[in-house]
Amino acid sequence: MTKTASQPTRIDTGTLQDERWTDDARGTIRFRTLISAPETPTDSLVCGVAMMSAGETFALHSHAHAEVYFGLEGEGDVMIDGRVHRLAPGVALFIPGGAIHGIPLAASPLRWFYTFAVDSFSDIRYRFPHEEEKA
């Protein structure tokens, strides 16, 4: 497989459709992936915008790659390794690789920017405890 050279890229979130997990046990969170190869001519970085309405969930999970959340709208509690961290506009949360994290329940609407230092969203292997229990 030949890797395409990275290029400057502009993405308008208004042109993207919401994505969701196919299993609601993972959460009812919605997200829009902005930068991710091969959908975009980029490498080394994946990013997007996640959205939750009041009452929606994002189940606790982990992945090997570190992640950053940056609050855009609303406020909510993010669990990271058993501790609550408040996400709000202008607040960045660094989530170490392997940390178990999520937003068990959004009390109000919440929107944040997320990013990983990987080439493609498909490179991120999400691990949800409820799925491992079934295996």
Q: How confident is the model at residue 19 (pLDDT cuts 50, 70, 90)?
A: very high
Sheet containing strand 46-52, edge to edge, reads 19-20, 30-35, 46-52, 110-116, 67-73, 92-95
pLDDT in tens, 20-48: 999 999 999 999 999 999 999 999 999 99
Q: Is residue 5 part of a domain?
A: no
Domain range holding 83?
A: 22-134
- Residue 16 lies inside a defined structural domain of this protein: no
pTM score, whole prediction: 0.93
Helix (H, G, I), strand (E, B) or coil at 25: helix
The mean predicted confidence, pLDDT, of the chain is 95
pLDDT at 2: 55
Q: Report the distance separating Cα 125 and Cα 99, nearest Å.
A: 13
Domain count, the chain: 1
Q: What is the pLDDT of residues 85-122, one digit of tens each?
A: 999 999 999 999 999 999 999 999 999 999 999 999 99
The DSSP call for residue 82 is T
- Looking up residue 124, the CATH number of its domain turns out to be 2.60.120.10
